Amino acid sequence: MSDQQIEGIIQAGYGVASGTTDSSPYPKGTIEMQAPFFRALGLDLAPFFPGTLNINISPKQFQLVSPQYTFRNVQWAEGFAPEDFSFTPCQIIDKNKSFDSLIYYPHPETKIGHFQNLSIVEVIAPLIPDLKYGDRILLSINTEQVRIFEK
């Protein structure tokens, strides 16, 4: 296994994953709603905060090449089309502490009308004390599962 560390900046997302935005059709947040489906498929998100961190690695971009988990046609929300999701382990390093986390990747081809910037890595992590928007962190990824490249 070969690890690579990339510097990133925590930035605000849409608040849909955590359910913190008033405009979301998912008041509980998507992660909390999706978690039982992922658990039934073999991935337990219980150790993690039910939301995502948006890590901007610009000018670099990322691509999942061999994610540890891929779930296809997950029908997690009534009235919405099923979606494909991939996850792969990573670590967030903040103030010299390491937090085991997961890259969360809802496949854009199954999420009509949702654009995701390829310089933004969405990560599901445990609650990290004092982490705030604008903070610089290191993201450690497995290069066999994730490819980092310049735009």
Report the distance separating Cα 111 and Cα 45, nearest Å.
Answer: 21
Give which of 6, 101, 96 is closest to 53, Cα–Cα. Answer: 101
Report the distance separating Cα 42 and Cα 86, nearest Å.
Answer: 13
Q: What is the pTM of this model?
A: 0.88
Domains of the chain: 3-13+47-150 (2.40.30.30)
Tokens encoding 92: 């967030």
Report the distance separating Cα 19 and Cα 28, nearest Å.
Answer: 5
Per-residue pLDDT of the chain (151 residues; tens, 9 = 90+): 579 999 999 998 654 454 455 555 555 667 888 999 999 999 999 999 988 999 999 999 999 999 999 999 999 888 888 999 999 999 999 999 999 999 999 998 877 655 678 899 999 999 998 999 999 999 999 999 999 999 7
Tokens encoding 57: 């690695």
